[in-house]
Amino acid sequence: MAQESSAVLPAPPVLQLPASVAEGSESRDLGVYLHVPFCRPECGYCDGASVAESDKPGVIKSRFPRLMDKELKAALDALATSGVAARPARSVFFGGGNPTALPSSDIGYMLDAVARGVGLTDDAEITVEAHPDSVDRAYVTALRDMGVTRISLGMHSAMPHVLDTLGCTHERVHVWEAAATAREVGLDLALDLVYGTPGESPEDWQKTLDIALAMEPDHLSAYALVAEPGTKIARAIERGEVDDVDPDVQAEYYLMADQTLEQAGFEWYELNHWARTPDHRSRHQMGYWASADWLGVGPSAHSHVGGVRWWNVNSLGTWADHAEQNVLPIESQEVLDSSAQQMERIMLGLKTREGISLSSLPGADALVTQWNEQGWVDKDALADGRLVLSATGRLLADRLTTELVSLEVSTQQGS
């Protein structure tokens, strides 16, 4: 993070909020996302916006919470000027990176900044992502005492050789310890898993699922490994050191996860997410899929309010310099017209358990019938007038979404 400086910075784009963002804003849910980019050396598969402190000489983590507060205030001022109604947040999500790379007191400072600036509903869901090696009993207890309601642990796998391939550095015992502490102090527990890593056998994946369930989580997320260009694992694949990712194996592992979790009493509610009960679904994530309002604070964070989306610069130093000067550090923005918002509702809705009302898809009868014949549609939901994908349909979610969106575009152009 850049040191204090009076240098004139290139001005970032000015946030342009049309009058429409204020319409109905008082009735829209609001969430707050805080991106904490600090992390240990990145996992081999990670291409996210994270940085180790040692990677950026001059980056001072101790200043980070204050700068987050300054950006939040600037964003709230911009919304107020545009007539957007002030509402307490129903969810707060600390993501990264690794938020628990910071002292727990810094998490408390930022959460207090949200409570003072935005406000929190009485039942606000407050989630902190955590690297298992960076939290102990005192840290987890401190999170609980400051009002955090859920901790999300990056477990990834229970198998040492899979963790090695992923380039993950955490000790398996620390996952157990952090999970047990979360349960003991009364926090909801979420675990994040990754499947389809080269060298991971079906037995490995099943054991990971079984061990994860033994920790008694309330929420599980499972993501297919993607070897993003430029990551350590992608370079290892290019050099022939490990096998390439096999999408057919990943499809098999997804169905294994869905069946295992369903048998354990979990229910899927979005492609990659399962919850023990509807109350244990991630309210914050559900806000994304419902196109609710959310404010993203921190480098690379995204925001969405009333059909307007904007995102911050990735550079930690540039973000810090602008935040220091009370300037929103945005990189760009886009305004979604009514047609684009409808397309987005389709793209997001088709990947959730709630699905899409058939009444909102008047031209899709033939396509839905075809999908139903292929077994890609939940027949019970279809009988209730909703388009929801079956487990096998979820494997094709991207393709089916493209087909449905293309049909809707053609329908709109022809009307």
Dihedral (CA of 93, 290, 15, 115) sign: negative
Q: What is the model's pLDDT at position 269? A: 97
Give 21-53 pLDDT, tens digit per residue.
999 999 999 999 999 998 765 565 555 555 555
Residue 3 has pLDDT above 90, yes or no: no
Q: What is the model's pLDDT at position 296? A: 98
Other beta carbons within 10 Å of 147: 14
Q: What is the model's pLDDT at position 54? A: 41
Residue 391 has pLDDT above 90, yes or no: yes
Alpha helices in 91-153 (DSSP H): 104-117, 137-146
List the beta strands (DSSP E) in 174-229. 188-195, 219-224
Which residues lie below 8 Å from residue 222, measured CB to CB, with a gap of 6+? Answer: 193, 194, 195, 254, 257, 272, 274
- pLDDT band per the 50, 70, 90 thresholds, residue 271: very high
Q: What is the model's pLDDT at position 40? A: 66
Q: Are 294 and 31 in contact (CB under 8 A)?
A: yes
- What's the full length of the chain, in residues? 415
User: What are the DSSP calls for 353-397, one per residue?
Assistant: SS-EEGGG-TT-HHHHHHHHHHT-B-HHHHHTTEE-B-HHHHTTH
Residues 118-127 as b/e (b if ≥16 CB within 10 A, e otherwise) read bebeeebbbb
d(CA 146, CA 112): 9
Please give the distance of CA 75 from its chain centroid, rounded to a whole number.
21
d(CA 33, CA 49): 14
Residue 7 has pLDDT above 60, yes or no: no
Q: What is the model's pLDDT at position 4? A: 41
> Of 18-32, 140-154, 216-230, 276-290, which gets the smallest average pLDDT?
216-230
Short-list 330, 299, 328, CA closest to 49: 299
Short-list 207, 204, 181, 208, CA closest to 192: 208
pTM for the structure as a whole: 0.91
User: Residue 199: left if φ>0, alpha if ψ -120 to 50, beta else—which one?
Assistant: left
Give 163-220 pLDDT, tens digit per residue.
988 888 788 889 999 999 999 999 999 999 999 999 999 999 999 999 999 999 999 9
Which residues lie below 8 Å from residue 414, measured CB to CB, with a gap of 6+? Answer: none
Residue 5 has pLDDT above 90, yes or no: no
Mean pLDDT of 57-67: 78
CATH of 19-335, one of 3.20.20.70, 3.30.2310.20, 3.40.50.450, 3.90.550.10: 3.20.20.70
Mean pLDDT for the chain? 90
Question: What DSSP designation does 317 have?
Answer: H
* Domain range summary for the chain, segments of one domain joined by +: 19-335, 338-414
Mean pLDDT of 105-117: 98
First-to-final CA distance of the chain: 53
User: Residue 112: left if φ>0, alpha if ψ -120 to 50, beta else—which one?
Assistant: alpha
Q: Are 89 and 30 in contact (CB under 8 A)?
A: yes
Q: What is the model's pLDDT at position 243? A: 87
d(CA 359, CA 386): 8
